[in-house]
Amino acid sequence: MSSPISLGIDLGTSELKAVLLDESGTVLAHTGVRLAISRPQAGWSEQDPEDWWQACLAGLHQLRQQQPDAYARVCCIGLSGQMHGAVLLDQNDRVLRPAILWDDSRALAQAQWLEREHPDFAGITGSLPMAGLTAPKLLWLREHEPQLFNRISCVLSPKDYLRLRLTGERISDVSDAAGTLWLDVRRRDWFEPMLQATGLERHQMPRLVEGSAAAADLCAAAASQLALQSTVLVAGGGGDNPVSAVGIGAIEAGQAFVTLGTSAAVVAITDHVAGNPASAVHSFCHALPQRWYTMGAMLAGASCLRWVTQLLGQVNEQALLQLAQEQVPLGQPVPAATPLFLPYLAGERTPHNDPLLRGGFMNLAYETTPAMLGYAVLEGVGFGLLDAMAAVQSAGAEVSTCSLVGGGARSNYWAQLLANILDREICTLSGSELSACIGAAKLGFLAYGRGRDLPGLGMPVKARFVPAAGQQEMLQERYRKFRDLFAAAHALHG
């Protein structure tokens, strides 16, 4: 086939995105389909896997309409997706219940039990047991839904359910599997003692491949539905953070980036396992062989801005950002009536590992304005990332200049504030909002035997933000006060 095209699909929490990528790394078309989240009880977070498949069908139909010639030349598919979710299948590959997502906190007691009973496992699995990871969710199901638990034939991560619908095969990749807590991250294979600790056996896990390896071909039914050739190859793909890293060219040890989407994270690439479980730092497999990454993760990132925008009745996030920029300019001292914000709307991972922790404003006054509240939210997320960065560095990973990716990267005001808070040069990239899709498409090409140089291909720098020296003392003082508030927040549920 001349001029092959790779299709990259990223299954996010709030949106499924897809791109058509050519061999030069150029995006020929992209699309997005919104997804709904169900929260049937406080702390629960679920989605229906069928909704993912319908969004996939709709998104690919849109790509075919936009670029019919390029779509007809699709030879490979790469997948990226939200990590840590639990999709439960019976022996006929039917979904047994709604998928439990990464920000679901119902399995707190089960995570604590795993940590207490198997303290040595964290060094093997790359992370402390946390309620949001997959393994504790299965313990919760065994306790609360035992009849359903006994019918489980296979557990898949979210993007691997899309692969099942595309190929008919139960397959995962090592980067997504690392986020389940069932993987030996050094050996890049299932860790059977942890499987047994959660009542499962190896045969209930999907087959593992590397992210850049061929996984399976499209099945006839999917090829017909999608108007693609059945010879189209599906690559291993990976979890959203490591695949975003491939998308922006962060594949070598020493490279680092900040993701600012629904959640947020500081990610540093390593050539070895470099975790610090005691500080809730993850060390997971990269989407490329013989590479890993160290991550400090926040459960709420740009979603905090969306929340406060709705709370204040603003038209949209951009309107609130504009207000903050006008009334709280970064070159001047922050007004005294500006509150501090704890960004723990969904609990927190790094460094606190506390899914019951909740956020809040402190230092509210009659003089506090919507602009000040908006600024406080941006600053609070930045302080949370500073906590995460310190934890990542405690594991021995390097964090110097950082690229900024995700929806939050669209705001120059926020990017400059992050540069000031993190005391690092921050770079925004053209097209970074599609980084996971592009990374997935790059992995598709590698599995197809093409595009060897694509993973290292970065994205054009849109803007550089250098720390403003005059802001450091004021921000450090506000950060100290932010840190002092943690004990009070913890005590509310302690």
Catalytic residue positions, numbered: 240
Q: How many CB atoms are closer than 10 A to CB 95?
A: 16
CA–CA separation, 335 and 371 (whole Å): 11
Hey, is 370 helix, strand or coil?
Answer: helix
Q: How far is CA 409 from CA 17, 406, 412, 415, in A?
A: 17, 6, 7, 6
Instruction: Name the token pair of 467.
Output: 């720390």
Among 238, 298, 194, 278, residue whose Cα is nearest residue 439: 238
Binding residues: 83-84
Classify residue 364 by burial, with Cβ atoms within 10 Å: 0-12, 13-18, 19+.
middle
Q: With beta carbons less than 8 A apart as the criterion, state whether 223 and 233 touch.
A: no
- Overall residue count recorded for the chain in this entry: 494
Name the helix (H) or strand (E) containing 252: none
Binding residues for substrate: 83-84
- 19 contacts 434 by C-beta, under 8 angstroms: yes
- CA–CA distances in Å: residue 4 to residues 72, 321, 458: 9, 41, 21
Strands, DSSP E only, in 250-337?
256-260, 264-270, 282-285, 292-298
